[in-house]
Amino acid sequence: MSAHVEVVSTDLRRAKVKVSPGTYLVDVLAEACKKLNLKSDKYELKHKQKLVDLTGPFRTSGLSPGAKLELVQKSKSASVVSIALDVNGQRYTKKLPSDLSLWKVMRQFENAEKGLNITGRGVPVGTNSGQLYHDAPVVNIMGREYSAMEDLQKTLSQCGINSGSIVLRVTFKLGERTLYDAMQQIAQYLNEVEPEQPKAEGEAEPGAAPAAEQPKTDDTATEESAVPEATAPASAEEAAPSAPAEPSTAGEAMEVDGPPAETPTPGDPLQPTGVFTAPTSSTPAAARTHEDDSVYEPTIAHAQLRQQQLLQRSQNTRLKSDAELAAEAAAEAAQLAKITQVELKVRFPDQTSAVWTITPEETGTFLYQAIRNLMAHPAAPFKLILPGPKTAIQESDKRLIAGYRLKGREMLHLLWDDAVAAGVRREPFLKGSVASRAREVVVPEIPQGVAGEEGGKGGAGGAGAAGSSGQQQVKRDGGSGLDSDVVKKKLSKFLGLRKK
């Protein structure tokens, strides 16, 4: 029995996709994007204003035959997913970004859990041969198995996992390849797919393979001799690209030539005032922050502020006249004219960043030129996006501060153009002479106050400041809080107004 669903894109184009009860919705998304000539990794499906879970099959989705699904753009920043990895009944949990491949997810758990071996298991075959064969991992997501290396290179997002939590069940399948051959082929494949990763993968796998469960006789000797050889191709291929450039001496000479170029930095506005490295942790800082529950407990000041907001919204307000709108625009223009400089921080695709201090005379062309001076591939096209409504800064003579209303400190995100090759995207964004002087971003730790005292003061003070028009400041430290009778009278008066 087969049916179909109708997928509507953002430009109102439609595509019909045939489905059966066992069709996975991530395949429906891929088929619809193929028919509409779109990239499936940039979109999600919605049904009646609700995101569709792409990991399950059609029969468990609750969709009816002929359902209309909306194609919506996915957030360009990776979201955090709670992963529970089930390995032969043992469960491990970790929060990881959704743009991580299944192979890297397993490697992350191997590095975090001592003694856990998933990707480099070897099993002896035969009684006296001592030969180890590769015990390949098989990842099961909602009944769908991923075992080939091409499938394990799919990201969590490409498997339909974009948010929330998911269980990945890992089983093992004894292959026909020896551990030595398997490690060689895996290292070669990773070196072709991601040239920057084979070194880390190749170095980690020798440590993982000896943890396999087998007797410590000739088997371990065979494994120790096989696995280091498996990493040789990765090391050789990593050395190959640097060989034609006549090694590191040339690179060091370039680094030595860098400082003379840095000397005119104070007088050269194109040079950034600071360059920062990418975060070392794969987990976003927001996911590692833990606040005490008392921070989110509402206070009397919050209730009063909410009451005041509801009263203001219940009153009729007139629209502003043309004269008032013109006066507001003139006041904003005068405020922008007083700004002498703005600090701009640009975040690059590999999470490195740089900071420039611009003046009112600087234009979009200036900023694009300044960024190209730092790029390893300055010919690659890109665009700069402001947060919020995603306004793009154009490479034109439009002034940055007055034209885009920049104030104080601003953060811009650099996005590659669709025409940029995948190899350029994987390489470091900054050229070597600039990356060598990059420093780590130091995030200050905010001291946690006592929930009953400092937290209470902060909460009451913030709410009181926000609603300072005719609202009393709540005092927490002296015990002289608001009279409960006064609060009851105000609430009863408010409820009476609401009933009328």
Same domain, 425 and 377: yes
Q: Is residue 420 part of a domain?
A: yes
Q: In the predicted model, what is the mean pLDDT of the chain?
A: 74
Q: Residue 20: its pLDDT value, please?
A: 85
Final residue of a structural domain among 33, 55, 73: 73
Neighbours of 381 (CB within 10 A): 10
Final residue of a structural domain among 13, 44, 73: 73
Full DSSP string of 240-286: HHHSTT-HHHHHHHHHHHHHHHHTTGGG-TTS-SEEEPPPS-SS-HH
Q: What is the DSSP letter of 349?
A: T
Spatial distance between the Cα atoms of 500 and 492, rounded to a whole number of angstroms: 13
- Lowest mean per-residue pLDDT among 65-69, 149-153, 165-169, 267-271: 267-271
Report the share of the chain in percent with pLDDT over 70: 71
Q: Is residue 221 part of a domain?
A: yes
Same domain, 27 and 144: no
Q: What is the pLDDT of residues 123-152, one digit of tens each?
A: 887 655 567 888 888 988 888 888 888 888
Full DSSP string of 166-209: EEEEEEEEEEEEEHHHHHHHHHHHHHHH-TTSHHHHHHHHHHHG
Structure token digits, residue 171: 């089983």
Q: Is residue 115 part of a domain?
A: yes
CATH code: domain of residue 17: 3.10.20.90
What residues are paired with 82 via a beta bridge? Answer: 95, 165
Spatial distance between the Cα atoms of 409 and 411, rounded to a whole number of angstroms: 7
Same domain, 28 and 94: no
Q: What is the pLDDT of residues 262-307, one digit of tens each?
A: 433 455 778 888 899 888 777 777 677 777 778 788 889 999 999 9
Per the structure, the count of domains in the chain is 3
Q: What is the pLDDT of residues 8-26, one digit of tens each?
A: 888 888 888 888 888 888 8
Domain of 55, in residue numbers:
3-73
Same domain, 23 and 124: no
Same domain, 19 and 45: yes
Same domain, 355 and 383: yes
Asked if residue 230 lies in contact with residue 205, where contact means CB atoms within 8 angstroms, the answer is yes
Strands 353-358 and 342-347: antiparallel
Final residue of a structural domain among 73, 102, 129: 73
| Terminal-residue alpha carbon distance, the chain | 58
Same domain, 42 and 157: no
Same domain, 113 and 49: no
Asked if residue 344 lies in contact with residue 273, where contact means CB atoms within 8 angstroms, the answer is no
Same domain, 413 and 345: yes
